[in-house]
Chain A
Amino acid sequence: MHFGTTEEQDLLQATLRRFTSEALPPDRRRALFEAGPQLDRSLWREAADIGLAGLMIPEAYGGAGLTLLDQALAGEVLGESACPGPWLAHALVGLALSLGGSEAQRARWLPALASGECIGGVAFGESGDRWEAADWRVAVESGRVTGTKCHAHAGDETGLFLVGLAGGRVGLVEADATGLRRRPIEGHDRSRALCDLELERTPIELLDARPGLGEPLLDAARVLLAADAFGAAWQMIRASVDYANTREQFDTKIAQFQAVKHQLADMAMAAEPMRGLIWYAAWAFDHRPAERAREAVTAKAHVTDGAVRIGRAAVALHGGIGFTWDCDVHLFLKRAMFDRTWLGSPTAHRARLACLAAY
């Protein structure tokens, strides 16, 4: 029995941490945030070169053949560095093809996704906060799709869209397909792009090798959002600890005030127990299909909700500077706010848990 990370997984995180600290020092991170969600090609390229674009893609197609747990551990580092780019969406497109693509479909797209040459985007939501696969209405007729998908995690650079369809199915639409229009949304988390996607008689490739793929893909996305928020939350705790150890008021470091210490302790107490929750949910995706959905919705609701609370406490601990655009805490807070909102609120996810657990 081993409930913990392996040496390889520790190495994966260490490698990514080294990468993000070198490639994404605070001033570059701020500059990229400022520039908005247009992808910084050089950062994407550098990250793809160390394998980040194809972690879960089978080795036969140029990926690393890793599991959702590995992707979640990587996602934690992306969250703690507020790494810009549609990494989460890209990983899901690869996962969708790996799980539900025909041999021909995999051969056609997976190698370019693994190398990062083709960038994936995800269009699950529909208007009225409809995120659940069972609520998707956009439908396919004779190989073409018509309708609007809302709040797609995709930007100008996206080459391949994973689209959620009526009946909980999913399909792929290429960015240059006819009838496809994207309307960018200006989000507060400028590290990740959003757009509405209008489709009119747009050719689509259905991923049907595994039926009802929408649900498991949503679950995978939920786990990755939780992992991202968890990374962001710990980064905000570390930043707050550092600040409390530096900032002086009343002739002493504010960390010396017990109220401050206790606020920080409460933040750590809220965050640390989430680690195993995320690990388990990610592991269940690959190993305990019967538990997959329940664990994923629990992790998404609990972690993203808690991470935003931690973030709000972090801002408070920074005082006036925390309320400014210049203090990096807001990058991570907005990251967590994205993770909390995208795919539906904690309330919606808890309602779903209540059904899945048959309360």
Chain B
Amino acid sequence: MELEFGPEYDRFREEVLAFLAETPRDVDRRSFLKAATERGYVYRSIPRRFGGSEQPFDPIRESIVAECFDASPFSWRLGPQSTGMLVPTLLEAGSDWQRERFIPPTLLGDFVWCQGYSEPGAGSDLAALRSTARLEGDEWVIDGQKIWTSDADHAGFMFGMFRTEPGADKHAGISYLLLEMDQPGIEVRPLRQITGATHFFEVFFDGARTKADWIVGRRGEGWRVARANLKYERNLGGGPRLRQRFAAVLELARTMRIGDRPASEDSVIRQRLAEIEGHVRCAETMTLRQLSAAARGEDDRVVLPMLVNKLYGTEVGEQIAQLGFDLIGADGLRAPERSTWDAVSTSARDTDWVDQYLFELASGIAAGSSNIQRNVIGERGLGLPRDLRAARARTPA
């Protein structure tokens, strides 16, 4: 057990902090990301010729950068669909021209992507999707509908899965296509979310078009391609995020009053805070375990943490949101502030607890619902048998 990173990393942290101190406050995100890439702070695993900084594998440096950047006044994170999904997928399964053309502008936020997976009839059972694309000359012609598509109003591009091989098996008939959003065959309709905000949309395709070579991987390989980015997705768990949320709810407890004393002096509230802090310490130390394992090439030691990360984050986040909602008392009757409706949907806001209480619900639905997480923990973590239905529906890989 050794929790110090060591002098080399202390120096690195100093260097990152110095970079942040030198950066002008009014810098735009694009210039910030450009400078951070030149210094080798971001996009470390991406080759230079695709706009990355091509640094040696080092999850500790990565985590130091993320920690310092997150604590800085600069906004630097791009939408998860762009850097978290599309870029890794292209690195793994794209052709060289696709990587050269799409990755560099995506890394700077010039190209914004939305994810066209879910459909009205295809959610957890994603392979049930029915939107089609058929090749006509040198173009794919797309018909059908996607739903819950985040950011579809301002994304210039979509990556998505479409059925291209009529008559093929459920998983075998799907292709992974890239397309431009601004075209006559696409209509984007807003969906109002439970908070009142509009961050996801319906996308209708009626003869929409994309070039024949805007396919990633080969025809019918879409299911495999969509899963390719999983190996890049090194989710170390929600420790830092939950700590931040806990700090916010603790601050709220100190501000709100029960009777003539701060709520944080009330014994029931203190019990709830302490119970949550137990979970937060668990999440933090679980993140630490995974960081350590990643740095030492010992991923096999953290299989179960990697499987429980998401569900645990959902459950603990729920407890925090619940406490915040209770602490605001009768303000919990008010509609969320309209100003927060436009805020980035993934940020952990602490200004409006009603909004947060509602928003927290997304965590158990999006990106693999909690029941699906339980299936994965049970099957892959504990070796329990697959669900009967799912076993039958699965086609050989």
Can you list, as one digit per residue, whether each of B274-304 has a CB less than 8 Å from chain A (1) or not (0)?
A: 1101110111111011011101101001001
Q: Are B296 and A272 in contact (CB under 8 A)?
A: no
- Interface stretch, picked from A2-10, A49-57, A157-165, A193-201, is A2-10
With a cutoff of 8 Å between Cβ atoms, the chain A residues found around residue B388 in the complex are: 256
Q: Are B377 and A268 in contact (CB under 8 A)?
A: yes
List the B residue with the shortest CB-CB distance to A354. Answer: B270
With a cutoff of 8 Å between Cβ atoms, the chain B residues found around residue A290 in the complex are: none
From 55 to 101 in chain B, residues with beta carbon under 8 angstroms from any chain A beta carbon are 60
Within 8 Å by CB of A241, from B60, B277, B296, B382, lies: B382
Can you list, as one digit per residue, whether each of A257-280 has a CB less than 8 Å from chain B (1) or not (0)?
A: 010011011101100111111011
Distance in angstroms between the alpha carbons of A5 and B1 in the assembled complex: 6
The answer to whether A280 and B285 touch (CB under 8 A), given A1-B4, A4-B301, A350-B275, is yes
Q: Does A347 have its Cβ within 8 Å of any Cβ on chain B?
A: yes
Distance in angstroms between the alpha carbons of A298 and B273 in the assembled complex: 11
Distance in angstroms between the alpha carbons of A298 and B284 in the assembled complex: 13
Distance in angstroms between the alpha carbons of A353 and B2 in the assembled complex: 25
From 245 to 276 in chain B, residues with beta carbon under 8 angstroms from any chain A beta carbon are 250, 253-254, 264, 267, 270-271, 273-275
Q: Are A3 and B291 in contact (CB under 8 A)?
A: yes
Q: Does A225 have its Cβ within 8 Å of any Cβ on chain B?
A: no
With a cutoff of 8 Å between Cβ atoms, the chain A residues found around residue B286 in the complex are: 272-273, 275-276
With a cutoff of 8 Å between Cβ atoms, the chain B residues found around residue A350 in the complex are: 270-271, 274-275, 278
Q: Are B387 and A276 in contact (CB under 8 A)?
A: no
List the A residue with the shortest CB-CB distance to B310. Answer: A269
Q: Does B327 have its Cβ within 8 Å of any Cβ on chain A?
A: no
Within 8 Å by CB of B1, from A4, A244, A265, A353, lies: A4
With a cutoff of 8 Å between Cβ atoms, the chain A residues found around residue B285 in the complex are: 3, 273, 275-277, 279-280
User: Which DSSP category, helix, strand, loop or mixed, fits chain A's interface?
Assistant: helix
From 1 to 54 in chain A, residues with beta carbon under 8 angstroms from any chain B beta carbon are 1-6
With a cutoff of 8 Å between Cβ atoms, the chain A residues found around residue B270 in the complex are: 350-351, 354, 359
Distance in angstroms between the alpha carbons of A180 and B327 in the assembled complex: 52
B386 CB to closest chain A CB, in angstroms? Answer: 9
Q: Are B375 and A277 in contact (CB under 8 A)?
A: no
With a cutoff of 8 Å between Cβ atoms, the chain A residues found around residue B374 in the complex are: 261-262, 265-266, 269
From 247 to 301 in chain A, residues with beta carbon under 8 angstroms from any chain B beta carbon are 253, 255-256, 258, 261-262, 264-266, 268-269, 272-277, 279-280, 283, 287, 295, 298, 301
Q: Are A265 and B377 in contact (CB under 8 A)?
A: yes
The answer to whether A4 and B293 touch (CB under 8 A), given A273-B282, A354-B270, is yes
The answer to whether A353 and B274 touch (CB under 8 A), given A256-B388, A269-B377, is yes
Instruction: Enumerate chain B interface residues (CB-CB to A < 8 A).
Output: 1-6, 9, 60, 250, 253-254, 264, 267, 270-271, 273-275, 277-279, 281-286, 288-289, 291-293, 295-296, 298, 301, 304-305, 308, 311-312, 315, 371, 373-375, 377-379, 381-385, 387-388
A sample of 11 more A-B contacts (CB under 8 A), given A4-B292, A264-B384, is A1-B295, A4-B301, A241-B382, A241-B384, A255-B385, A268-B381, A273-B282, A275-B289, A276-B285, A302-B275, A302-B279
